[in-house]
Chain A
């Protein structure tokens, strides 16, 4: 499968199955567009004919020669990757990542919250250490030979359960040598409760910290409010700035915003983040169903595409300046990224990644929490629905509807089953708007690589 696109004057040809990406001149781009595999040594007559008004026969022959050599090398119109299926976990995959919902309570009331203001509709609760301990025991037991174990402290607001966080980290660290595991702790926080003590702790113990901020004060404060309905910008920004300033540069962090229909001009939010001194940035489209002020729809797509292009310009304009920044979804490593098997498996929800609630309930991921029909088990009852987990393990690019035909599949990994459920009421039915946004982001990421290469 070949995908061609022209982005700000650069002609790009992506060969999906091989991962090869080419920058083409105009004639080669035009010619590639009208070719269909299999290719043969001689350029087909219909191609000469189709391009005869624009190019001479000799020029077309010359361009075809280069395309044909790519074809022969397996870098153009390459065949679909067939396997090995044996390496894609279809059943009994080890669980190696936990989203630990240490707090099903939150000190904010955000307008777009998918967690139903923090408790996921399951009642406000804080995870006690006993439950967290069982979760660590569970992941050690279920991770098999996997060495790297990821624990994300999530909520609600996880700093409302800071005591549980500290005890859990200490408990898990105790197994690292004994069980030959490496625990990577991360935390996703709204920042309201950050203080000197927990900031220092997070910077010491967490390999990544995700700080939620939506950018401009008026945008952030309209949606991200305290329980009393007040804006949070002024309270959280200095705390986040302090954390980032003190953070070791070798450790990850992200300022993560959400954009809704109200701020499809989200580059202005990125610019605000830059002016506040933040450089590792992520801005996510809200995933909500229905009408109202926040859900995105097809009507916003052209404007969002434009905004992603504006973001490319902004990113390039800041390179080699003191405002140089990273944007999470544009950080695609074309050569050294994950293997094709990882790309086929995608997020791993339900089989290598699960979420645990304060009650010890296990769900396929944080976004499934509260959907009883997807509950995988409970740590206190020692239950785990292997059949349901295997259903998730069996989901990959080949089984997901629409993915086989998508040129961006190996960059995306198959999308999000939870988003599919939220918007379409079916984990298997692709959230098309999300797919379109992902494809645009991938085009942007490839364009940025091309632009840098061309100088």
Chain B
């Protein structure tokens, strides 16, 4: 492509296939305690 550069692929919907295990950190527990950002949590699913 000459007009576009991909910064990130379309991975979100696919993540549902093995997702939902609930093992990742509660977002509010990490550093903020007042405001949410969920996307900076690490996935804990090793499957």
Interface residues of A (CB under 8 A from B): 12-13, 15, 17-25, 27-28, 62-63, 66-67, 69-70, 73-75, 78, 81, 83-84, 87-89, 93-94, 96-97, 99, 114, 146-148, 150, 152, 154, 184, 186, 188, 208, 210, 252, 254, 256, 258, 282, 284-287, 328-329, 331-343, 346-349, 352-353, 365-367, 410-416, 419, 434, 437-438, 441-442, 445-446, 449-450, 453-454
Q: Give the distance to chain A from B39, nearest Cβ to Cβ, in Å.
A: 4
Residues from chain B with Cβ under 8 Å of A335 in the complex: 8-9, 11
> Is A347 within 8 A of B11, CB to CB?
no
Residues from chain B with Cβ under 8 Å of A438 in the complex: 35-37
Q: Give the distance to chain B from A108, nearest Cβ to Cβ, in Å.
A: 15
Which residues of B1-47 have CB atoms within 8 Å of chain A's CB atoms? Answer: 1-13, 15-16, 18-20, 22-45
Residues from chain B with Cβ under 8 Å of A146 in the complex: 22-23
> Is B3 within 8 A of A63, CB to CB?
yes
Instruction: Among B11, B28, B38, point to the contact of A342 (Cβ < 8 A).
Output: B38
> Is B10 within 8 A of A22, CB to CB?
no
> Is B30 within 8 A of A332, CB to CB?
no
CA A450 – CA B6 in complex, angstroms?
9
CA A365 – CA B27 in complex, angstroms?
12
Q: Give the distance to chain B from A435, nearest Cβ to Cβ, in Å.
A: 10
Residues from chain B with Cβ under 8 Å of A88 in the complex: 20
> Is A284 within 8 A of B34, CB to CB?
yes
Residues from chain B with Cβ under 8 Å of A75 in the complex: 6, 9-10
CA A67 – CA B40 in complex, angstroms?
28
Residue in A closest to B6 when the chains form the complex, CB atoms: A22
CA A260 – CA B1 in complex, angstroms?
45
Q: Give the distance to chain B from A81, nearest Cβ to Cβ, in Å.
A: 6
Residue in B closest to A446 when the chains form the complex, CB atoms: B7
CA A414 – CA B1 in complex, angstroms?
34
Q: Give the distance to chain B from A429, nearest Cβ to Cβ, in Å.
A: 16
Q: Give the distance to chain A from B31, nearest Cβ to Cβ, in Å.
A: 4
Residues from chain B with Cβ under 8 Å of A78 in the complex: 10, 13
> Is A419 within 8 A of B10, CB to CB?
no
> Is B10 within 8 A of A15, CB to CB?
yes
> Is A24 within 8 A of B34, CB to CB?
no
Residues from chain A with Cβ under 8 Å of B45 in the complex: 339
> Is A337 within 8 A of B5, CB to CB?
no
Given the known inter-chain contacts A18-B12, A81-B13, A146-B22, please indicate yes or no for A419 contacting B4, CB distance below 8 A: no
CA A92 – CA B26 in complex, angstroms?
17
Instruction: Among B13, B36, B41, point to the contact of A337 (Cβ < 8 A).
Output: B41
CA A119 – CA B19 in complex, angstroms?
38
> Is A84 within 8 A of B16, CB to CB?
yes
4 additional contacts, CB 8 Å, given A22-B6, A69-B1, A346-B38? A17-B13, A19-B11, A339-B45, A416-B34
Residues from chain A with Cβ under 8 Å of B18 in the complex: 339
Given the known inter-chain contacts A22-B5, A88-B20, A446-B7, please indicate yes or no for A328 contacting B31, CB distance below 8 A: yes
